Amino acid sequence: MSSFEPRIALPEHNSDICEIFRSTPMEGQISIRFEREPDYFVGSRIQNLEQRVYIGWDKKARKAVAVTNVGSRPVYVDGEMRNVPYYCDLRILPEYRSRTLMARGFRFLRDHLLQGDDYAQCLIVSDNLKALDVLTSGRAGLPGFYHTGDYNTWAISTRQKFKSSSSGVQIRRAGADDRSAMQKFMDLEAPRKLFYPVYDFNEIGSHPYYENQRLEDYFLAFQDSRLVGILGCWDVEFCKQSRVVSYSTSLRWMRKIFNRLAFINNGFQLPPEGSLLKYFILHTLLIQNDDPEILRALINQVGLESSGYDYFLLGLAARDPLNDAVRKLKKRLYRAGHYLISFGKPDVLQKTESNFYLEAARL
């Protein structure tokens, strides 16, 4: 009988889960470790409103050797609110990856969470060829991974000159008196985008789903005194950290030269090994008529008021016209594929040709 079994993750498993993340860096020329210190569950609560965190438990070693989060959050589908699972944070300790743990985990997913045509969203980084090969192989026992589009994550350098808007768009930070107008704008604009999250601005400052958010970290765009755009800024280092573990030999040798040459580094620096990357994430992006000029004005104002960070992140579906807003900025692009996971064939697959939204701050 196998010594492995899926279990619901409990607070007493936190140290094991944090160790799993420390032990599974993303390898490459730059080895990055995505940490979840000091409490994994704080981060999982901003990923999904309804918690469903599971571990793979080694009964002989009496420890967690794998973790995944398959909770759900309210989003809009066809203009209606639905609770859709988001599948994320799949990590398996390296010494257990050749075993049957993944197959058992997906069987548990089929039997208990994704039944019939139920589905979950997920992202797979385009460079993660090993994961793409395994998960989308169609091997027996695995669900279908339906590719519904590509996803762009723009890393925008703070080491550049940002300009105040000259396009007739006025930008300012939100205040307490703006809550009702922001909610009204969201309730009008959000339902038109597939998978846009359902938010309640009255919960900011009180609910763990909005942990460490402040209303004044939202920027508002106005035209002729009308609210036409919302953009939030969120530093999630309190629960999620990205640490540079190591560089390849060639990059380690070139790092100091690269950091000095602005014409090749495009405003980005290679920090010392062992250091945390300093960034924040743009979120709750809503722009009337998907006008890139409005988003460009918001981003420039965010850049003008940012200090102490190396860059900030913006996530958009690759087909979103708002990608044009970053065209003239110093930035780097990281690509991922957006997938729907199902053991059936959900009807929503017919709608994914339309523009979708996925919250970068909740990945």
What whole-number distance in Å separates Cα of residue 206 and Cα of residue 213? Answer: 9
Query: Is there a domain that residue 308 lies in?
Result: yes
What whole-number distance in Å separates Cα of residue 131 and Cα of residue 273? Answer: 26
User: Residue 339: beta bridge partners?
Assistant: 122, 147
Which amino acid is residue 340, in one-letter code?
A: L
* pLDDT confidence of residue 265: 77
Range of the domain at 333: 156-238+279-362
What whole-number distance in Å separates Cα of residue 188 and Cα of residue 184? Answer: 6
CATH number at residue 168: 3.40.630.30
Tell me which residue has tokens 């003008």.
304
Report the candidate in 302, 292, 290 with the shortest Cα–Cα distance to residue 234.
302
pLDDT for 312-345, tens place per residue? 999 999 999 999 999 999 999 999 999 999 999 9
pLDDT for 238-296, tens place per residue? 999 999 999 998 888 888 888 887 667 778 889 999 999 999 999 999 999 999 999 99
What whole-number distance in Å separates Cα of residue 85 and Cα of residue 121? Answer: 6
Tell me whether residue 341 is exposed, middle or buried, using C-beta atoms within 10 angstroms of its C-beta: 0 to 12, 13 to 18, 19 or more: buried
Token pair in block for residue 89 = 């944070």
Which amino acid is residue 24, in one-letter code?
A: T
* pLDDT confidence of residue 1: 42
What whole-number distance in Å separates Cα of residue 33 and Cα of residue 285? Answer: 27
* pLDDT confidence of residue 267: 82
Query: Is there a domain that residue 306 lies in?
Result: yes
Q: In b/e form, how buried is each residue of 64-79, taking b as 16+ CB within 10 angstroms? A: bbbbbbbbbbebbbee
Query: Is there a domain that residue 271 lies in?
Result: no
Query: Is there a domain that residue 19 lies in?
Result: no
How many domains is the chain built from? Answer: 1
Query: Is there a domain that residue 283 lies in?
Result: yes
What is the crossing angle of helices 14-22 and 40-47, to 10°? Answer: 80
Token pair in block for residue 308 = 């102490």
For the chain, list residues with pLDDT below 50: 1
- Measure Cα distances from 66 to 9, 97, 169, 239, 327 in Å: 10, 9, 48, 19, 40
Tell me which residue has tokens 């601005």.
201
Please check whether residue 238 is in contact with residue 42, taking contact to mean a CB–CB distance below 8 angstroms. yes
Query: Is there a domain that residue 27 lies in?
Result: no
Residue 97 main-chain phi, psi, to 5 deg = -70, -20
Tell me whether residue 224 is exposed, middle or buried, using C-beta atoms within 10 angstroms of its C-beta: 0 to 12, 13 to 18, 19 or more: exposed
**pTM given for the model:** 0.93
* pLDDT confidence of residue 316: 97
* pLDDT confidence of residue 97: 80
Which amino acid is residue 251, in one-letter code?
A: L
What whole-number distance in Å separates Cα of residue 50 and Cα of residue 195? Answer: 16
Query: Is there a domain that residue 260 lies in?
Result: no
Report the candidate in 348, 353, 311 with the shortest Cα–Cα distance to residue 332.
311
Query: Is there a domain that residue 316 lies in?
Result: yes
Q: Is the dihedral of CA 185, 191, 192, 194 positive or negative?
A: positive
What whole-number distance in Å separates Cα of residue 283 and Cα of residue 362? Answer: 9
